[in-house]
Each structure stands twice: as C-alpha cells, then as structure tokens.
Amino acid sequence: MCIDRKAVKLSSLKSKWNDKNLYDCVVRAFLFVFLFSSVLIPYDTFYTKKLSCAALLVLTGIYFLRKKRTMADAWIIFLGGAVPLWYTLDSVLKNTDNISAAVGMAYPGFLLLTAILLKGFVKDYKKYYLWALKAESAIIVLSVYFDIFSMLKITENPILSWYARTENAMIGVGSYFFTYYMVFIKTSPLLLILLFDSLKKGDLFWAVISALACYFSGTRANVFVMIALLVIYLAFFQKQARARMIFVVAATLICLLFCNKIVDRVITIFLNKASSDATRDGHLQGMFVLWKNKPSDFFFGTGFGSSYYSYGTNRFENNVELSYWDMIRRVGLTGFLPFMATLLYPIAAMTIPAYPFAPKYGKWKLWTKNYDILLPYIGFLLISYTNPFLYSTTGFSFLILLYSAILRTNETVRGETGTLPLRALGSAMETAEM
C-alpha cells in the first residue's frame, strides 16, 4: 500500500491551520460582542457582556494551560486573579445577606486576566473599540443634530428613550444642564480615546465628531477634562503651527461672539455645581462617620454590595459618585493599594524607559509615542473621581487594552524571557495600526 507522505503532511498542516483559524475567529467574535456591549450597553441589558466575559475567561484559561508561563503572566494573575478573588471572598463573607450583589460588583476585576489571551489580538481589540466608540459618538451627535433642526426631539427619540428607560444613559435637555443637552451614555468618558486617536491619525472628521459627542454628554467633568487635554495636546504634541493658530483663532472668535452668554452660562454652571458638590460632600461625610465609628473598616473595608448612610442623599447607598473613596470603603486601604498599582502601572509603562532600552526610548520619546492613549487614560482616571465606573467593565475594558499591549510589547522586544519591563506600549500600539 502506497502512502503519499506529502499529501498526508499537507493535510495535517491544513488541519492545524483550520483549527487555529477557527480558534482565532471564536476569540474575535466574543471580543467584538464584549466591546460593543461594554461601550454601547453599559448596564448589560441583554446580559451579552457577562456571557462574552465568561467566554473570554474560559478561552484565556485554555490558552494559559497550553502556553509557556512567564513572570509577566504571574503579574497579571496576581492583579487580575488573586486581588479580585480576595475582594470577592471578603465581600461574600461580610455580606452574606446580599451575596449576588457582592459577586456582581466584584467580578469586573477578573477581566484583567483576559490580557494574557488578548495580547495576540491587540490590533483587533483597538479596532473594535474604536468602531464601538464611533457608533456611540454618532448616536450622541445625530440625536442633538435632529433636535436642533426640529427633525426629532430628544424627548421623543426612540433610541434615547430606550437608553434612559434601561438605565444605560441619562438624557435631558434644558438650561439646567451644563451644555443644554445631556446625552450621557454611561461610557462617554471613553470617547477621549477616539478623539486623540483621530488627532494622531489626522482624521479631522472623527476628531470633531468625538469632541462634540464628549461635549454633548453634558457633564462638567467630561468637558473640562477634554479641554484641558486638548490644550496639553496643542502645547506639547501638535507640531504644526497652522493647527495651533486655527485653534487659537476659533477660540478667540467664540469668546468675542458669545461673551455675554458664556458669562451667564458660567454663573449657572457654578450654581448647579454647588448643589452637586453638596451631595458629594454628604457622601464623603457619611464615609468618615462610618470609619470613625468603626476604624477597622477604613483598613479592611465593608465589602462590595455593602451600603452605608450618606448625608448627601439622606439614605443608604451602595454605589456613589466618588469612585476612589467608595473603593476604599468597599475594600479598605489594604485592598485599595493593589488596585491603585493596577491603575498606575500602565502610566509607568508608557513613560518610564526600562534598561537596556533607555538609549533608544528616552523619556520624552515615550510620551510622544504614546500620547494618543496616555492622555485619554489620565483623563479617564480624573473623570472617574466623580463617576461610579472606575471598578467596572467600563474601566477594565480600557485597562485590558493597555495591559494586552504591555504584554505584547514585552514578548516582541524581549521575547519570552519571563520579565515585564516598564517600557513603551508604542510598538504594540503601532502594530495595532497596521
């Protein structure tokens, strides 16, 4: 019996290629669902976010068992596995009467584990992320456009009505709101990613659309942080004098034409700000009373799903708009420190060169390579101070992109050496653009 070895070998290679191709397609499919659900349906109305998260975690587990382990993986397992497990078990033990809420609020931390798998899909991750953010920008800007030109009122818009009814967004119109219009889809701070990515690529259309969407989200934090970051961008990262001049002239004309309205608007803003600040002060006062009565809660927390009495609303709350303080209330100072390490590590990776790469990647060069992701991330962390989405799938969807790029860069530049240097995400982000 004659066996065609060449044909057998070719068949084997084809089978392996098909298996890998199918596996990659499955990962991309769940990644697509996860990112679009995270950005466009933050309240997870259809449970697609939780289901896709579970699928990605299972795929990560399979991938991890079949690959060579590195110290970089150990670091991710600690931040995305051990720390969230600590939060979850601690919350369940402290809130036995509300276990579902404890687990439901603690689970987003586990998503960081998927960076181990998704480091091979940085290009797809960023692409899908930007698609979802473009869709969100279009929804916000078109809704305002239709209202301005009396084509479809904000209050009668079926899409926005659904968003408000399902608690995926806060919708409003009137002089009470900061920008008159409020189309605040609860992931709108992520629009900064699209804005600065578009600026770096020179895509003026989406830069303008994302800036307008951020403005019409209607929150002071979004608008002020966006303006501050744009000033930093123009001062330090925009090399074309013409672009700087256009911005200065446009800003001057707006101030001259609408000077009186701007002054009146600023007065209204600060009057409204005083009211919202009083509520937040009451939230913080309630936490200090809690810690004064039981100092151990400051160090060890009361767990996810727990509630406390807020003097800002004069009722018990389990989630308030002071993310960093609320995180300390939940996990205590001992749990807050590793969480802050998780948040700050990507900034170090984007700004501090690691030996022996310092001669090639000087500090300023790292900033200039990564400003399109560094500025939005810093802005997101600032906005998160007064918004309750820091420890959520919204925040971790951003972190996964950063950590995936860090792991990808580590393997590309250093290889599987078992080290995770503090260095640029530039090469991985550049790969994502190809």
List, for residues 157-206, the tens digit of each pLDDT value: 999 999 999 999 999 998 777 788 999 999 999 999 999 999 999 898 99
Residues of the chain scoring pLDDT < 50:
1, 13, 17, 355-364, 416-428, 430-434
In the structure encoding, which two tokens stand for residue 124, read together?
């797809």
In the structure encoding, which two tokens stand for residue 302, read together?
């009361």
Tell me if 42 is assigned to some domain: yes
| Domain around 217 | 17-433
Tell me if 5 is assigned to some domain: no
Number of domains the chain is built from: 1
The dihedral through the CA atoms of 418, 421, 425, 426 has a sign that is negative
Give the whole-angstrom CA distance, residue 153 versus residue 201.
Answer: 34
Tell me if 324 is assigned to some domain: yes
Give the whole-angstrom CA distance, residue 374 versus residue 364.
Answer: 13
Tell me if 2 is assigned to some domain: no
Whole-number pLDDT of residue 94: 94
Residues in the chain: 434
Question: Which residue is it, tokens 């600032």?
Answer: 382
Tell me if 414 is assigned to some domain: yes
Whole-number pLDDT of residue 424: 41
Question: Do the Cβ atoms of 77 and 66 come closer than 8 Å?
Answer: no
Name residues whose C-beta falls within 8 Å of residue 422's C-beta, 6 or more positions apart in sequence: 348, 349, 352, 353, 354
Tell me if 316 is assigned to some domain: yes
Whole-number pLDDT of residue 91: 95
Whole-number pLDDT of residue 418: 40
Give 183's DSSP letter. Answer: E
Name residues whose C-beta falls within 8 Å of residue 71's C-beta, 6 or more positions apart in sequence: 418, 419, 420
Give the whole-angstrom CA distance, residue 261 versus residue 218.
Answer: 17
Whole-number pLDDT of residue 11: 57
Question: Do the Cβ atoms of 364 and 77 come closer than 8 Å?
Answer: no
Tell me if 9 is assigned to some domain: no
pLDDT tens digits, 335-368: 999 999 999 998 888 777 654 443 344 444 556 6
Give the whole-angstrom CA distance, residue 14 versus residue 2.
Answer: 21
Tell me if 378 is assigned to some domain: yes
